[in-house]
């Protein structure tokens, strides 16, 4: 039953052009990262030693900029059709409660978002190899960064599924996405304690390479904060969707 | 004028004011907090504060915000039987398109007003900057408001064609990303043909960032306003033509 319901969501995605939105996400993050990296001094200088740091650092710039608003778009599109087509009631009569439908939508979109997050990192690694970065790929740093971004993305996706389902007017969800992008893009400049206080700040906490005193260095980000965010997000999402089932409208 | 008045009535009770107020204030707040936590004073006074809030604002929040506002203005027409009422009504397509675009442009201009006021407030209250910001920022704000018009028309057209609230917003973001690439490459001429890049250039006027030279000339401001007027005419005509060919739907 659950499997079929998830498959049903994937069928809806085709009409909603979710692939195009996910493609936009990948193109924006990978494209902007690459552009930032190749214009960085380390890459622009033909005699300079090309390394992985500029690529990782530019990811930390493009990912927070593009992800929040496009995650809001993905969630809004997948949820809004139920508002317009009377889908909540239809699902309920076939045994899928609104809260459960939200969890199913999250599961389906979560697959797309996770795949897109992995793909944008792989694209950038591929570009690095093609551009002639001689050093071996720092697999640990890339894997840690990608996994952290995936967790933050999934938490924000869950938030947007909830907001889009709860508030009929999609202005709220998308407005939140735009503000989230602004916050996320500027969170790198904030002190870490401040970045811990809102979910969009966790992109900054996952940053794997950045400029410190003018020099580009690898950082050793503490992934436990992101893991805690993921656990808290999962618990809150389950609680909120359970409450959806008790609502009458 | 009746159509424009009707549109303003529709927007009066919507949530549009939330976007108009919150988005610019949030950006000035972010710029201010960033300056405060970095422990530095705005060295060049108003210029630093303007640079930190308005240039970031023009990179994508402004464009995406206009996209959200355009979707909000068209949302009501895509609901219930309103689309067929619109198609069956006596209002010509050109007037509908122009009225919707006028409302979105007015909201975008209001957003720029809020931006200017928020910069003044932050400069006075947080950094205790002397005097008022130079008059050039009023001129730049007017140019930004003018450059917002073609984006408003384009987004209004996209929201007219698409029933989804979010899809046109995604396209606005894609357009903004494309504009960043164009401006990073320093393609100033190409920027005049793409509304998203034109508004980006307008927000960078006089700052010396991206493709801007740093000097605010009357010619530069006029060329942006002229390009905006030209794009607006073309896009309004195209939207009206498209709406004219659309029919009632079941």
Domain range summary for chain A, segments of one domain joined by +:
2-243
The b/e string for A163-177 (b: 16+ C-beta within 10 A; e otherwise) is: bbbbeebbbbbbbbb
- Is B202 in contact with B224 (CB distance < 8 Å)? yes
Q: Do B19 and A175 touch (CB under 8 A)?
A: yes
**β-pair partners for A215:** A212
**Worst-scoring range by mean pLDDT, A38-52, A77-91, A164-178?**
A38-52
Tell me the HSE value of A247 on the side-chain side, using a 13 A CA sphere: 15
A21 — contact with chain B (CB < 8 Å)? yes
A225 touches chain B (CB under 8 A): no
**Which residue among A35, A65, A173 sits closest to B184, beta carbon to beta carbon?**
A35
Instruction: Dump strand ranges (E) for chain A.
Output: 209-212, 215-218
The yes-or-no verdict on residue A246 having pLDDT over 90 is: no
**What integer pLDDT is reported at residue B42 of this predicted model?**
66
Model pLDDT, residue A248: 64
Nearest CA to B28 out of B133, B153, B107 is that of B133
pLDDT in tens, A190-209: 888 888 999 999 999 998 88
User: What pLDDT tens digit does each residue of chain B (250 aa) get?
Assistant: 688 898 888 888 888 888 899 999 999 998 888 788 777 666 677 888 888 888 889 989 999 999 999 999 999 899 888 898 888 888 889 999 999 999 999 999 999 999 999 999 998 988 888 888 888 899 999 999 999 999 999 999 999 999 889 999 999 999 999 898 888 887 767 778 899 999 998 998 888 777 777 778 888 889 899 999 999 999 999 999 999 888 887 6
Contacts of A181 in chain B (CB under 8 A): 60-61, 64
pLDDT of residue A48: 66
Q: Would an 8 Å CB–CB cutoff place A71 in contact with chain B?
A: no
Report the residue from B163, B165, B181 with minimal CB separation from A35.
Answer: B181
Name the CA dihedral angle for A42, A46, A51, A56, rounded to a multiple of 10 degrees. Answer: 50
pLDDT at A224: 92
CB contact under 8 A, B173 and A24: yes
Q: Are B235 and B153 in contact (CB under 8 A)?
A: yes
Helix/strand/coil for A216:
strand
B57 contacts B115 by C-beta, under 8 angstroms: yes
User: Quick one: closest CA in A to B62, which residue?
Assistant: A178
Sign of CA dihedral A113, A71, A74, B157: negative
Task: Print burial letters for B215-225: b (CB count within 10 Å at least 16), e (below 16).
Answer: ebeeebbeebb
So what's the pLDDT on residue A43? 76
Q: How far apart are CA B63 and CA B148, in angstroms?
A: 8
Contact at 8 Å (CB) between B155 and B103? no
Residue A31 CA neighbour count, 13 Å, CB half: 16
The pLDDT, as a whole number, for residue A249 is: 57
Instruction: Check CB contact of A35 with chain B, cutoff 8 Å.
Output: yes
Taking one residue from A and the other from B, the number of pairs with CB-CB distance under 8 angstroms is 103
Cα separation, B125 vs B43, whole angstroms: 16
The more confident residue out of A141 and B131 is A141
Answer yes or no: is pLDDT of A240 > 60: yes
Residues of B in contact with A84 (CB under 8 A): 79, 163
Q: Where are the domains of chain B?
A: 2-244
How far A171 CA lies from chain B's nearest CA (Å)?
Answer: 7
Spatial distance between the Cα atoms of B64 and B58, rounded to a whole number of angstroms: 10
Contact of B158 with B238, CB cutoff 8 Å: no
Q: Which residues of B touch A194 (CB under 8 A)?
A: 37
């Amino acid at each position: 039953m659950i499997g079929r319901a998830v498959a049903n969501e994937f069928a809806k995605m085709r009409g909603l052009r979710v692939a195009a939105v996910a493609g936009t996400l990948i193109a924006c993050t990978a494209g902007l990262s690459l552009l930032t990296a190749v214009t960085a001094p380390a890459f622009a200088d033909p005699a300079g030693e090309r390394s992985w740091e500029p690529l990782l650092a530019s990811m930390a710039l493009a990912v927070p900029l593009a992800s929040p608003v496009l995650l809001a778009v993905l969630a809004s599109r997948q949820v809004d059709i139920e508002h317009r087509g009377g889908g909540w009631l239809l699902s309920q009569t076939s045994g899928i409660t609104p809260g459960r439908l939200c969890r199913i939508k999250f599961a389906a979109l979560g697959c797309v978002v996770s795949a897109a997050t992995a793909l944008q990192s792989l694209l950038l690694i591929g570009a690095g190899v093609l551009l002639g970065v001689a050093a071996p790929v720092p697999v640990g740093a890339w894997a840690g960064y990608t996994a952290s971004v995936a967790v933050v993305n999934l938490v924000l996706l869950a938030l947007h599924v909830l907001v889009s389902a709860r508030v009929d007017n999609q202005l709220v969800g998308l407005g939140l996405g735009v503000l989230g992008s602004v916050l996320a893009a500027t969170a790198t400049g904030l002190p870490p304690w401040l970045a811990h206080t809102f979910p969009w700040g966790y992109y900054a906490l996952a940053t794997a390479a950045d400029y410190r005193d003018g020099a580009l260095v690898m950082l050793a980000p503490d992934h436990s904060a992101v893991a805690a965010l993921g656990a808290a997000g999962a618990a809150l999402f389950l609680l909120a969707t359970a409450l959806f089932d008790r609502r009458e409208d | 004028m009746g159509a424009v008045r009707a549109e303003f009535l529709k927007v009066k009770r919507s949530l549009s004011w939330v976007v108009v107020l919150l988005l610019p204030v949030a950006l000035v707040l972010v710029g201010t907090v960033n300056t405060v936590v970095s422990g530095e004073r705005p060295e060049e006074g108003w210029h630093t504060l303007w640079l930190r809030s308005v240039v970031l604002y023009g990179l994508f929040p402004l464009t995406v915000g206009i996209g959200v506002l355009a979707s909000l203005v068209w949302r009501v027409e895509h609901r219930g039987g309103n689309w067929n009422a619109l198609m069956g009504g006596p209002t010509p397509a050109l007037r509908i398109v122009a009225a919707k675009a006028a409302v979105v442009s007015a909201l975008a201009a209001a957003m720029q007003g809020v931006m200017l006021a928020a910069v003044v407030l932050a400069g006075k209250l947080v950094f205790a900057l002397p005097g008022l910001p130079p008059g050039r920022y009023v001129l730049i704000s007017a140019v930004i408001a003018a450059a917002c018009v073609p984006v408003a028309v384009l987004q209004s057209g996209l929201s007219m064609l698409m029933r989804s609230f979010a899809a046109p917003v995604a396209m606005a973001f894609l357009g903004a990303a494309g504009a960043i690439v164009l401006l990073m490459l320093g393609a100033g001429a190409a920027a005049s043909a793409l509304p998203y890049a034109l508004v980006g250039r307008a927000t960078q006027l006089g700052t010396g960032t991206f493709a801007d030279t740093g000097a605010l000339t009357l010619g530069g401001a006029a060329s942006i306003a002229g390009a905006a007027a030209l794009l607006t005419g073309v896009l309004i005509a195209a939207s009206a033509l498209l709406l004219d060919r659309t029919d009632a739907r079941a």
